[in-house]
Structure 1
């Protein structure tokens, strides 16, 4: 007879993890490999790869509803309402086993060394309490665990070991853009992705469907529900799904000792552990800490610095599109990045802004995506609509522009005690305004991206100032640091205020870089796990 996962005895462990996404999966796998007894609580379900729509004709249509990356649109069983009416950018996330890795594009980029010292380099943001060099060994190990494909030798990045797999195929439009950048003398490099280019650890190679954003139906894209959690559970980790944590609890001495949650039956229970790890992303973790108020922490748990929820970063994003006269089969390919450019990723003295943007070129999508792109000052119906789709489909190149936004205290996550979700927990409210620095950065990089596409042979180019529905990267609401008065956690993710409480998700990032953050979050999580193993049984 199978044990009840909600039995009182089953809800006790050495380590309790809240959240089974990217960081939770990395930490759980490493801890159980070291013999640690791990229990994880996840509010969403286990995704069923058979339900992914990428091989079905309605894949674009369902991406606007049940497979939307927006929890406010998707409204799945693990989702909670996020009030983003005060935010210039709307958050994208997936609540379930695998977290954001189920729907991400798997663009796998390390932060650059200067990203860890923006204040020293540019006088903005703050320096991290660790350097690129300290994190590099963990990047190396994570690349192997995640099965990264790419081409080594990028002159814009520090040297690193060879990727586990060769780069994925370079698309026709990718070749054209690389030729265009060569003419301009600009940086461009074949994409690195957490997507298999050959059989790897029981997974088959990518078949270039171009539907990564709705879940990979063949398992070529690394998502931790297929790469980390099966291994962790095989070694004894316990993963309970469909349960929503309401608050982290403390013992009489102020040490974390578990969490209170509700399952589908509405019964409140408590999971107990002397070490509690939060892995709920920059919105979910800030929400949980702010909701875990008490007489000891009236402004939110672990919030002695007053910074829980503050300095939210969301990576302003937009696209530049080039339309080519010849067919390029650009509807297919891996939805990660066939090529990327770091030409404008650092501060330039003549640009009028500080820091920079990373560009990535991927597939241009299907006919619905073409129809819904905000074509400026043109009708989107009748014969004109057919012309737009015909010009786009298979004949376009699309640069995605990811801008670094600086950590500002006014950009924040709050909770509203008067507005509750179905389990009685306060909903998060986002306050986020696009800074003038970000606006200037977007405008500059979109103009340069159109130049790139023109140099590559595009007969027409267009772009839009900001795509607000692409907040893929919530970061920074529980920042790390060495000074307890100006940080929420230390350099290993341990709470500055609450013994036994740790945070491992993207909320701990000090600054956001312009690179996709998954590789950095995973490397920091592995580093945090190694710290917990090294200090196991010692006072913390």
Structure 2
């Protein structure tokens, strides 16, 4: 039995923790197959009317209540994170739709070699699944949420292309594309989780270029807009304001549900025969480490000792180019008008293994520009000097960015902080993350190449931004999947090796990070895992 809205007791078949992309994708699949599903979400429904994206004071709002850094946002749904020992600071949004509410909606898939890094390059580990295993689920999610793009990119095997045509690449994208052609660098129009044509009650992209501040058109596939309506229609029971403190287990070592704190500070408990955790690469290991017992003294599902280990966060570097003409860099989508996997795979002549995804990035306002010059003395980026800098660059610059493949390092990890707690007194996570030497060499090489692209395009000046601590959107690897229970937490379908009725479907299951944005792979993995759970339900072990 479980406690639903208004204290009504209801029978459920599965309990999902987290209402972001992986949580709602799994919940919808289960509900549409006849399962009774409850989802617990510590945040609330985001209010579209409150989005900063269409407001003149957008950049100021985005620096406060809508900041992607929970340590800066400090909302009632957030928990603090100790980042004193981390080179990159985690970003996330706690609420229905998860971090997709504020993501840029770049929608690239892993390339095939990303699943076979050990076999191909002799480093890290291989996934227990392949690109071909996920391909039909990539395609299914694309259809469910409405993805725009152009099929046939040579980086991928043949398959079904995006269901909607690509968005315009704009003047900045065209400038980048022309230069890539000149230098022999392969590129492709952006594949985006953004509608290029209206669909249902969602409008097409109006090219605000403010995707990271919430889409006022509903064109961007934040999962509160693109997936949750279907989940609710299928009968999913969503409980917001529910901060989960612990996953409970039976004497037999099976999950029995979750204990959580409501907004009034009252402890509640929801019982379920199957528990699915989708709390992101920080929240999931935190919850597993909070869920200790005599049977699991080191944390739930942690016999391997891999819970919280191998944290990957994708370092990002960029180069801003200044030009002598208006290139309309404010015209959306915000990122990824064009992208390139030309340098994504290993070429040992570069001095490192694996590589980076390149993309063009637009700029919307003065604050974003000035942030790129944070290394200058304050006197050169404020007052009259700051105004002159912004006036010179506005409309006449754009950014090329490289997302660096972050190889797993065992000591990059998430632990429980001994002192820091959230507003309910629950221990907060501490992040230990040091960028590897391999990543630093990759950064240096890619920054030099990005400068060369701008120079080849005739840039008047370039500004290198070689390391961005405030860029930790991609939280991966802290409950990795694998075939060997000694070196992984879950199997290739997200089922815990230690607790057979406990599943994990978020980015923490990643074995390697690729250089691309992870949400397409997160949701494809969740969809495949949920389907497998349905197909094997008759054999599922459950608490008595």
Deviation at 1:362, TM superposition (A): 2.3
Deviation at 1:11, TM superposition (A): 5.7
Task: Supply the distance in 1 between the matched residues of 2:4 and 2:297 (Cα, whole angstroms).
Answer: 33
Q: Which deviates the most, 521-530 or 344-353?
A: 344-353
Deviation at 1:103, TM superposition (A): 0.3
Q: Which residue of 1 aligns with 2:81?
A: 82
Deviation per CA, 1:42-85: give whole Å up to 9, x if none: 00010010110111111011111111000110111210000011
Q: What SS class does the counterpart of residue 337 from structure 1 fall into?
A: strand
Deviation at 1:377, TM superposition (A): 4.6
Matched, 1:514 2:515: yes
Q: Which residue of 2 aligns with 1:292?
A: 291
Contact in 1 for aligned 2:42/2:242 (Cα 8 Å): yes
Contact in 1 for aligned 2:336/2:361 (Cα 8 Å): yes
Dislocated runs of 4+, deviation >3 Å? 3-12, 375-378
Task: Supply the distance in 2 between the matched residues of 1:43 and 1:494 (Cα, whole angstroms).
Answer: 23
Task: Supply the distance in 1 between the matched residues of 2:96 and 2:270 (Cα, whole angstroms).
Answer: 19
Structure 2: stretches of 5+ with no match in the other structure: none
Deviation at 1:7, TM superposition (A): 5.2
Contact in 2 for aligned 1:176/1:457 (Cα 8 Å): no
CA RMSD, Structure 1 to Structure 2 (Å): 1.4
Contact in 1 for aligned 2:3/2:269 (Cα 8 Å): no
Instruction: List aligned pairs for 1:103-122, cutoff 5 A.
Output: 103-122=102-121
Deviation per CA, 1:338-381: give whole Å up to 9, x if none: 00011211111211111101011121221121122226556112
- Relative to structure 1, the CA distance from residue 11 to residue 362 in structure 2 (aligned partners, 3 Å threshold; closer, same or farther) is farther
Q: Which residue of 2 aligns with 1:210?
A: 209
Q: Which residue of 2 aligns with 1:249?
A: 248
Task: Supply the distance in 1 between the matched residues of 2:480 and 2:143 (Cα, whole angstroms).
Answer: 27
Deviation at 1:9, TM superposition (A): 4.6
Deviation at 1:5, TM superposition (A): 3.5
Task: Supply the distance in 2 between the matched residues of 1:526 and 1:289 (Cα, whole angstroms).
Answer: 22
Matched, 1:191 2:190: yes
Structure-2-length-normalised TM-score: 0.97
Deviation at 1:4, TM superposition (A): 8.3
Deviation at 1:452, TM superposition (A): 1.2
Q: What SS class does the counterpart of residue 54 from structure 1 fall into?
A: helix
Q: Which residue of 2 aligns with 1:321?
A: 320
Deviation at 1:391, TM superposition (A): 2.6
Q: Which residue of 2 aligns with 1:130?
A: 129
Q: Which residue of 1 aligns with 2:70?
A: 71
Contact in 2 for aligned 1:397/1:453 (Cα 8 Å): no
Q: How many residues align?
A: 538
Deviation at 1:8, TM superposition (A): 5.3
Matched, 1:532 2:542: no
Deviation at 1:281, TM superposition (A): 0.2
Task: Supply the distance in 1 between the matched residues of 2:483 and 2:277 (Cα, whole angstroms).
Answer: 19
Contact in 2 for aligned 1:45/1:77 (Cα 8 Å): no
Deviation at 1:518, TM superposition (A): 0.6
Q: Which residue of 1 aligns with 2:396?
A: 395
Q: Which deviates the most, 332-341 or 307-316?
A: 332-341
Q: What SS class does the counterpart of residue 524 from structure 1 fall into?
A: helix
Task: Supply the distance in 1 between the matched residues of 2:383 and 2:255 (Cα, whole angstroms).
Answer: 61
Contact in 2 for aligned 1:11/1:270 (Cα 8 Å): no
Deviation per CA, 1:398-422: give whole Å up to 9, x if none: 1121101111111000002443212
Deviation at 1:143, TM superposition (A): 1.0
Q: Which residue of 1 aligns with 2:42?
A: 43
Matched, 1:236 2:235: yes
Deviation at 1:6, TM superposition (A): 4.6
Q: What SS class does the counterpart of residue 173 from structure 1 fall into?
A: helix
Contact in 2 for aligned 1:193/1:336 (Cα 8 Å): no
Instruction: List aligned pairs for 1:430-441, cutoff 5 A.
Output: 430-441=431-442
Task: Supply the distance in 2 between the matched residues of 1:121 and 1:9 (Cα, whole angstroms).
Answer: 54
Q: Which residue of 2 aligns with 1:310?
A: 309
Q: What SS class does the counterpart of residue 350 from structure 1 fall into?
A: helix
Instruction: List aligned pairs for 1:317-356, cutoff 5 A.
Output: 317-356=316-355
Q: Which residue of 1 aligns with 2:420?
A: 419
Deviation at 1:151, TM superposition (A): 1.2
- Relative to structure 1, the CA distance from residue 248 to residue 4 in structure 2 (aligned partners, 3 Å threshold; closer, same or farther) is closer
Deviation at 1:94, TM superposition (A): 0.2
Matched, 1:491 2:492: yes
Q: Which deviates the most, 61-70 or 158-167?
A: 158-167
Q: Which residue of 2 aligns with 1:505?
A: 506
Deviation at 1:454, TM superposition (A): 1.7
Deviation per CA, 1:453-508: give whole Å up to 9, x if none: 22223221121220100101010000000011111001100000012100000000
Task: Supply the distance in 2 between the matched residues of 1:371 and 1:8 (Cα, whole angstroms).
Answer: 50
Structure-1-length-normalised TM-score: 0.97
Task: Supply the distance in 2 between the matched residues of 1:487 and 1:375 (Cα, whole angstroms).
Answer: 40
Q: Which residue of 1 aligns with 2:457?
A: 456
Task: Supply the distance in 2 between the matched residues of 1:274 and 1:132 (Cα, whole angstroms).
Answer: 31
Contact in 2 for aligned 1:21/1:279 (Cα 8 Å): yes
Q: Which residue of 2 aligns with 1:262?
A: 261
Q: Which residue of 2 aligns with 1:473?
A: 474
Q: What SS class does the counterpart of residue 476 from structure 1 fall into?
A: coil
Q: What SS class does the counterpart of residue 537 from structure 1 fall into?
A: helix
Structure 1: stretches of 5+ with no match in the other structure: none
Task: Supply the distance in 1 between the matched residues of 2:463 and 2:133 (Cα, whole angstroms).
Answer: 41
Deviation per CA, 1:374-400: give whole Å up to 9, x if none: 265561123332232123211112112
Q: Which residue of 1 aligns with 2:448?
A: 447
Deviation per CA, 1:150-178: give whole Å up to 9, x if none: 11221222222121111001110111111
